[in-house]
Amino acid sequence: MGKRKGGSKSLASFTEKSRYSNGYLAADATVYGADNAEVDVAEERAESSNLVDPPEVEALVGSDKTSADYYFDSYSHFGIHEEMLKDVVRTKTYQNVIYQNAFIFKNKVVLDVGAGTGILSLFCAKAGAKHVYAVECSLMADMAKEIVQANGFSDVITVLKGKIEEIDLPVTHVDVIISEWMGYFLLFENMLNTVLYARDKWLINDGIVLPDKTSLYLTAIEDAEYKEDKIEFWNNVYSFDMSCIKKQAMMEPLVDTVDQNQIVTNCLLLKTMDISRMVSGDVSFTVPFKLVAERNDFIHALVAYFDVAFTKCHKLMGFSTGPRSKYTHWKQTVLYLEDVLTICEGEALVGSMSVEPNKKNPRDVDIILKYSLNGRRCQVSRTQCYKMR
């Protein structure tokens, strides 16, 4: 799923720059399987990106659209799909999962939840699916229909334009559900509930959901320079005090790449979700954490990221969006702390993180962080609220 920060709201965000360039869309991007053997996927990228011809798409989709339309539905614009397709860690993992595990798809009825350009449906059709229903609510559904036709899969793939929650599927049951629903901080945009809805409505009893496991992680980083640039900046703007904006800036988790050298503590598994069993209420949770310093340093922020796993394959497959892994368009999510913590090796930052969809707009995520450090150099106890929107 796309979702640059604010991606559903502003096209300006498409040009957002990372502070640490990993060589955007790392030409040498790799994916891992159970053996963690890295697979070179550089040459495959060109293959994927050929599926969409941006200027043509713009001409067809964009002709009668204004920026006001895109403001509410960035998925109608090809830019966000281009970004996702060019994320080779993401797209190549799905392709490997599907092509290398054809037994899951052969002669099966597949539902692609949020099909976008139809890329996952095309993979499934190529792997031998009996029929694929590609459901997409944005205008990109029209493009997906053309793409399916242009590639000769019209008899296998049916593109349905509409919301999963509102469409009539021509069949009562499907054998497999595939989806790329993950948002920033895993849960931003809350598309997971759409997948769970589809699972409960159409998936046969022993059916398969892909991916079926996802895990959220937390770590702490030193980030003096960037915190200064993003937060303290507002204290003195051309000699004017704009510090009232600082509060808002602090409350918004920042989606950006973190260098692994910034990591000060262990990386902690916060929460694992089993997509084949969980219920929608499970997207709200409170979990405790204990982050132990691996060196003497300052802590300016906590950082969250996630892994995705396909456990029903011959061998475990998946990818990580963590700072120690190859770049993905999800980057990491940085939560700045009010205080600069001074932590000594072996000391622990303890607390809890609560996550829940915003009550007014369930696509947004509210995060409450409680933390305390009782160290030699620093004693702090605080609660901070963040809003991903």
136 belongs to the binding site for ligand SAH (CB under 6 A): yes
Is the CB of residue 259 less than 8 Å from the CB of residue 19? no
Q: Minimum distance between the CB of residue 1 and ligand SAH, rounded to whole angstroms?
A: 4
Q: For ligand SAH, which is the closer residue by CB, 84 or 388?
A: 84
Q: Which is the catalytic residue, given 189, 294, 345, 347?
A: 189
Interface stretch with ligand SAH, choices 41-49, 162-170, 299-307, 354-362 (CB under 6 A)? 162-170
**Residues in 39-78 at the binding interface with ligand SAH, rule: CB under 6 A:** 75
Q: Minimum distance between the CB of residue 95 and ligand SAH, rounded to whole angstroms?
A: 10
DSSP state of 167: P
Q: For ligand SAH, which is the closer residue by CB, 86 or 387?
A: 86
Q: Minimum distance between the CB of residue 43 and ligand SAH, rounded to whole angstroms?
A: 20
In the annotation, is 189 catalytic?
Answer: yes
Contact with ligand SAH (CB under 6 A) among 8, 30, 95, 138: 138
191 belongs to the binding site for ligand SAH (CB under 6 A): yes
Q: For ligand SAH, which is the closer residue by CB, 122 or 343?
A: 122
137 belongs to the binding site for ligand SAH (CB under 6 A): yes
Cis peptide, bond prior to residue 211, ω within 30 of zero: yes
Contact with ligand SAH (CB under 6 A) among 175, 180, 222, 256: 180
Separation of alpha carbons 344 and 376, rounded Å: 7
Measured N-to-C along each axis, helices 88-99 and 42-49 cross at an angle, to the nearest 10 degrees, of 90
In the annotation, is 136 catalytic?
Answer: no
Strand locations in the chain (E):
30-33, 38-40, 109-113, 131-136, 157-161, 174-179, 203-210, 213-221, 254-256, 268-274, 285-292, 297-310, 317-320, 332-343, 348-357, 365-374, 379-388
Amino acid symbol at 210: L
31 belongs to the binding site for ligand SAH (CB under 6 A): no
Q: Which is the catalytic residue, given 56, 82, 83, 180?
A: 180
Separation of alpha carbons 48 and 86, rounded Å: 7
Q: Minimum distance between the CB of residue 315 and ligand SAH, rounded to whole angstroms?
A: 22
Any bridge partners for residue 373, and if so which? Answer: 349, 380
7 belongs to the binding site for ligand SAH (CB under 6 A): no
Kindly give, in sequence order, each residue whose CB lies less than 8 Å from that of residue 263, ignoring residues fewer than 6 positions away: 219, 220, 221, 294, 303, 323, 324
Based on its alpha-carbon atoms, the radius of gyration of the chain, rounded to whole angstroms, reads: 21
CB atoms within 10 A of CB 276: 19
Q: For ligand SAH, which is the closer residue by CB, 119 or 258?
A: 119
**Closest-approach residue to ligand SAH (CB):** 114
Q: For ligand SAH, which is the closer residue by CB, 35 or 166?
A: 166
Q: Minimum distance between the CB of residue 367 and ligand SAH, rounded to whole angstroms?
A: 22
Q: For ligand SAH, which is the closer residue by CB, 116 or 253?
A: 116
104 belongs to the binding site for ligand SAH (CB under 6 A): no
Separation of alpha carbons 296 and 5, rounded Å: 32
Contact with ligand SAH (CB under 6 A) among 29, 52, 124, 164: 164
| Helices of type H across the chain | 42-49, 54-62, 67-72, 78-86, 88-99, 119-126, 140-150, 192-202, 224-230, 244-251
For tokens 């920042």, what's the residue? 254
Separation of alpha carbons 170 and 160, rounded Å: 10
Interface stretch with ligand SAH, choices 8-16, 130-138, 332-340, 357-365 (CB under 6 A)? 130-138
87 belongs to the binding site for ligand SAH (CB under 6 A): no
Contact with ligand SAH (CB under 6 A) among 29, 57, 84, 104: 84
3-state helix, strand, coil in the chain (%, to 5): 30, 35, 40
Is the CB of residue 291 less than 8 Å from the CB of residue 352? no
Contact with ligand SAH (CB under 6 A) among 25, 111, 120, 369: 120
Active site residues per annotation: 180, 189
Residues of this chain that interact with ligand SAH (CB under 6 A) are 1-2, 75, 81, 84, 114-117, 119-120, 135-138, 140, 163-165, 180, 191, 194
